[in-house]
């Protein structure tokens, strides 16, 4: 049953991919090429198949509440800069976490859940997804190409289905995504 459910979910989430036109060097305009027929149903199906996110949060490290404003490449505890939201690339970064200045990723294992923590320009952890917070990942993107593919299907495609939909108010569907992929909580601890 678990395999059948995952195959069905993968199929439903992959359907919109077939109509995405990708052009070399056109990554900045990716959202403009997303198909208009995607989304709402995929989001509701995905949401209904997700468990309690506390199980994922229990398997990940809590991020520090503050980081140095120099945004070092690595932090203690295995946190490393997320290349998709890198302070060294400002202002041309963090498009999926508008409001964040830098994000870090961490995974306790090479497969399974991982954490993403995002910070404002003052090094303060962001807790509100609408202000650029990171999220818990069901599958970490850190590691092999297979693991990165798992991350795309488990975390990225659902984000696009729920948060980039054209058929419903974005907060209504995007809040469902953030309910199942919350930012978690930070903790005060040394970071370097």
Q: What is the pTM of this model?
A: 0.78
Domain boundaries, the chain: 2-180
Q: What are phi and psi of 105, to 5 degrees?
A: -125, 155
Burial class (CB in 10 A: 0-12, 13-18, 19+), 137: buried
CA distance 120 to 43: 29
| pLDDT tens series, the chain, 192 aa | 444 344 344 444 444 433 333 333 333 444 443 433 456 788 999 999 999 999 999 999 999 999 999 999 999 999 999 999 999 999 999 989 999 999 999 999 999 999 999 999 999 999 999 999 999 999 999 989 999 999 999 999 999 889 886 665 678 889 999 999 999 999 998 776
Q: What is the DSSP string of 80-100?
A: EE-TTS-GGGTTS--TTSBTB
Cis bond leading into 107, ω under 30°?
no
């Amino acid at each position: 049953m678990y395999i059948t459910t995952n195959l069905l979910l993968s199929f439903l989430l992959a359907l919109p991919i077939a109509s995405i036109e990708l052009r070399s060097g056109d990554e900045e305009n990716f959202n403009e090429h997303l198909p208009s027929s995607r989304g709402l149903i995929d989001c509701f199906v995905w949401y209904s198949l997700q468990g309690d996110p506390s199980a994922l949060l229990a398997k990940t490290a809590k991020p520090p509440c503050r980081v140095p404003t120099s945004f070092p490449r690595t932090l203690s505890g295995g946190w490393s800069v997320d290349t998709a939201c890198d302070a060294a690339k400002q202002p041309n970064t963090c498009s999926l976490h508008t409001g964040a200045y830098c994000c870090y990723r961490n995974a306790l294992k090479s497969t399974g859940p991982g954490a993403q923590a995002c910070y404002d320009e003052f090094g303060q952890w962001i807790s509100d997804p609408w202000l650029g917070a990171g999220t818990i990942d069901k599958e970490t993107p850190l590691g092999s190409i297979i693991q990165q593919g798992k991350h795309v299907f488990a975390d990225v495609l659902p984000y696009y289905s729920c948060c980039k939909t054209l058929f419903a108010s974005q907060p209504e569907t995007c809040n469902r995504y953030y309910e199942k992929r919350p930012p978690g909580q930070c903790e005060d601890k040394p970071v370097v």
